[in-house]
């Protein structure tokens, strides 16, 4: 957790890495990095004076407002109850939370069981899902454009035609025998139509081969490799290993004692505590099938990356992939509500899960320094954000300095979760279109997005004191942001990146923050 020392400086939030298995599952390579030293769990009592990243919570500010003691507000504990989402931070948390004993849900859950689905009408599996499973390019032939009503306005007609034109542009790129990645990046920068988003993301991440003749065999091999890894991670030496049926699924019997499973108990415990609290405002993530899938993804990824293991925040980063890839197999892509993935055939969920695992791995490969011990990547980004803000808006930077506002106090979460707590899932997915189109989008361009995001609120922040600033930045009013708002933010970030990336010294000029951006970005 963040600790306030006599020099008025912040240290990284203290992390308790989970214990590692003595050896990785056979056949799986492990990233060759130092293994963190184990620390004991002392049965700590959690207080709601902070969020799960050790940053001061809204409830803490409100309870200590009368005391007017800034230092006491920054005495942080060790761990905490998770806040659900930025708009709900004003709701006071419950009083105290004590970590449950070893024989809790983390012990009892059967991680390989296939949950019973809740049958809900309205979301329909594509009849051609088997063709899409074998080759995502087959989904391009299934795109249908609903006709406009006869009384559609001229603006509606123009919007409709523009959308069809963009979809056809992506189809032309994606249907070539060898996809041109530069051309695809150029088109994706301004947003990807949802009908072609999953395939485009997989290509831009390097998971899906650009050569069409390699696509089917590569997908089949990678998906089998992931599922084999799941069986090995959860099955060897455990009850699950004995309960497998011929299809590779475990029976629905629950564990009565997790000690004999062969799992990394501390790691598994933290994951199953966090996953049910992931996107609590979106019904899709409250279904058992969704949660079991995310648990397996995070657990297997953590085993392969012992230098970091599972760190809170990585659970958030898996969800855009999972949601976008699931939508490929459903006729109605608006699946956040009313769609129980447990209704789907096993091979569909297996493919969504495997594709999510590999794409999450690709993303995290570029920002793993954010999650290893001491989190040096986040330290660098926070320091860079402070310097960049001074160049863009010197007046705001000086105000923060006068109010003793440390950037780590509010931007740690921005870097750790890539702003996923600040925006809706729909907005995040649109942002990731551009991130994937940018070179080093998640590690470099994200910094400029954060700077543009902070400077956007400059006028309001200039009128606030220390306490008000932190309260405001933890509950930013972005719930009603539209795609246009996100695109404007990305355009502003593109300006700052064009001006400042790779430069060592610039004149500080607060007037530059008023540059009119219009529709900026790479041509495409």
Q: Sorting pLDDT into bands at 50, 70 and 90, what band is 264?
A: confident
Q: Is the pLDDT of residue 89 over 50?
A: no
Strands 45-47, 96-98: pairing kind: antiparallel
- The average pLDDT across 84-108 equals 35
- Per-residue 3-state assignment (H helix, E strand, C coil) for 386-440: HHHHHHHCHHHHHHHHHCCCCCHHHHHHHHHCCCCCCCCHHHHHHHHHHHHHCCC
Tell me the C-alpha distance between 148 and 361, whole Å: 41
Give the SS3 label for residue 250. strand
Give 142-190 pLDDT, tens digit per residue.
998 888 888 889 999 999 999 999 999 999 999 999 999 999 999 999 9
Q: Is the pLDDT of residue 75 over 50?
A: no
Q: Is the pLDDT of residue 246 over 50?
A: no
Q: What is the pLDDT of residue 236?
A: 52
Q: Sorting pLDDT into bands at 50, 70 and 90, what band is 55?
A: low
- The average pLDDT across 67-75 equals 38
- Per-residue 3-state assignment (H helix, E strand, C coil) for 78-112: CCCCCCCCHHHCCCCCCCEEECCCCCCHHHHCCCC
Q: What is the pLDDT of residue 41?
A: 39
Q: What is the pLDDT of residue 272?
A: 94
Q: What is the pLDDT of residue 303?
A: 94
Extract the tokens encoding 146. Answer: 């609903």
- The average pLDDT across 315-341 equals 91
Q: What is the pLDDT of residue 504?
A: 54
Q: Sorting pLDDT into bands at 50, 70 and 90, what band is 110?
A: low
Q: What is the pLDDT of residue 265?
A: 87
Q: Is the pLDDT of residue 66 over 60?
A: no
Tell me the C-alpha distance between 328 and 54, whole Å: 37
- pTM equals 0.77
Q: What is the pLDDT of residue 338?
A: 75
Check if the beta carbon of residue 499 is closer than 8 Å to that of residue 506.
Answer: yes
Tell me the C-alpha distance between 515 and 456, whole Å: 12
Q: What is the pLDDT of residue 353?
A: 98
Q: What is the pLDDT of residue 35?
A: 39
Q: Is the pLDDT of residue 510 over 60?
A: no
Tell me the C-alpha distance between 409 and 382, whole Å: 10
Closest CA to 448 of 404, 415, 401, 410: 415
Average pLDDT, the chain: 77
Q: Is the pLDDT of residue 111 over 80?
A: no
Q: What is the pLDDT of residue 73?
A: 35
Answer with the residue of higher pLDDT: 121 or 279.
279
Give 424-476 pLDDT, tens digit per residue.
999 999 999 999 999 899 999 999 999 999 999 999 999 999 999 999 999 99
Give 477-493 pLDDT, tens digit per residue.
999 999 999 999 999 99
Answer with the residue of higher pLDDT: 463 or 62.
463
Q: What is the pLDDT of residue 506?
A: 43
- The average pLDDT across 115-121 equals 53
Instruction: Find the DSSP H helices in 189-345.
Output: 197-204, 212-235, 239-243, 265-274, 288-304, 314-327
Rounded to the nearest 5 degrees, what angle is found at the Cα of 427, between the Cα atoms of 426 and 433? 95
With b for 16 or more beta-carbon neighbours within 10 A and e for fewer, the 94-120 pattern comes to eeebeeeeeeeebbebbbbbbbeeeee
């Amino acid at each position: 957790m963040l600790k306030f020392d006599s020099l008025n400086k912040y240290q990284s939030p203290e992390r308790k890495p989970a214990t590692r298995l003595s050896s990785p599952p056979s056949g799986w390579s492990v990233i060759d990095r130092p293994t963190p030293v184990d620390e004991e769990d002392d049965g700590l009592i959690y207080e709601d004076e902070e969020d799960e990243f050790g940053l001061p919570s809204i409830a803490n500010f409100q309870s200590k407002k009368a005391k007017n003691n800034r230092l006491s507000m920054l005495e942080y504990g060790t761990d905490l109850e998770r806040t659900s989402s930025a708009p709900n931070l004003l709701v006071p948390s419950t009083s105290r939370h004590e970590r449950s004993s070893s024989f809790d849900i983390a012990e009892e859950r059967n991680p390989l069981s296939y949950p019973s689905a809740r049958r809900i009408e309205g979301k329909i599996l594509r009849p051609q899902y088997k063709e899409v499973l074998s080759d995502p390019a087959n989904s391009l032939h299934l795109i249908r454009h609903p006709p406009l009503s006869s009384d559609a306005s001229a603006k509606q007609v123009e919007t409709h035609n523009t959308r069809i034109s963009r979809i056809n542009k992506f189809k032309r790129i994606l249907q070539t025998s060898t996809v041109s990645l530069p051309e695809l990046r150029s088109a994706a920068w301004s947003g990807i139509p949802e009908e072609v988003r999953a395939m485009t993301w997989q290509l831009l991440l390097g998971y899906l081969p650009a050569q069409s003749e390699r696509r089917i065999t590569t997908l089949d091999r990678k998906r089998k490799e992931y599922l084999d890894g799941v069986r090995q991670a959860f099955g060897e030496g455990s009850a699950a290993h004995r309960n497998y049926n011929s299809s590779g699924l475990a029976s629905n019997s629950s564990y009565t004692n997790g000690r004999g499973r062969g799992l990394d108990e501390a790691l598994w415990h933290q994951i199953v505590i966090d996953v049910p609290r992931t996107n609590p405002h979106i019904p899709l993530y409250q279904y058992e099938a969704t949660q079991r899938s995310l648990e397996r993804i995070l657990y297997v990824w953590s085993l392969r990356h012992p230098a970091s293991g599972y760190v809170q925040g990585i659970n958030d980063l898996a969800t855009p992939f999972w949601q976008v890839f699931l939508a490929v197999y459903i006729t109605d892509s608006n699946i956040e509500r009313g769609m129980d993935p447990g209704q789907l055939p096993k091979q569909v969920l297996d493919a969504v899960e495997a594709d999510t695992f590999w794409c999450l791995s690709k993303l995290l490969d570029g920002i793993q320094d954010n999650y290893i011990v001491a989190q040096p990547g986040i330290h660098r980004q926070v320091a860079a954000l402070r310097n960049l803000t001074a160049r863009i808006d010197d007046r705001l930077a000086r105000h923060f300095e006068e109010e003793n506002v440390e950037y780590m106090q509010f931007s740690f979460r921005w870097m750790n979760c890539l702003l996923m707590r600040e925006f809706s899932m729909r907005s995040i997915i649109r942002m990731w279109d551009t991130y994937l189109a940018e070179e080093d989008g998640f590690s470099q361009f994200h910094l400029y997005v954060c700077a543009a995001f902070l400077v956007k609120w400059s006028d309001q922040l200039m009128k606030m004191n220390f306490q008000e600033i932190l309260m405001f930045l933890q509950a930013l009013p972005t719930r009603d942001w539209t795609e246009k708002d996100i695109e404007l933010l990305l355009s502003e970030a593109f300006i700052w990146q064009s001006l400042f990336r790779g430069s060592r010294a610039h004149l500080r000029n607060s007037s530059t923050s008023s540059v009119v951006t219009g529709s900026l970005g790479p041509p495409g």
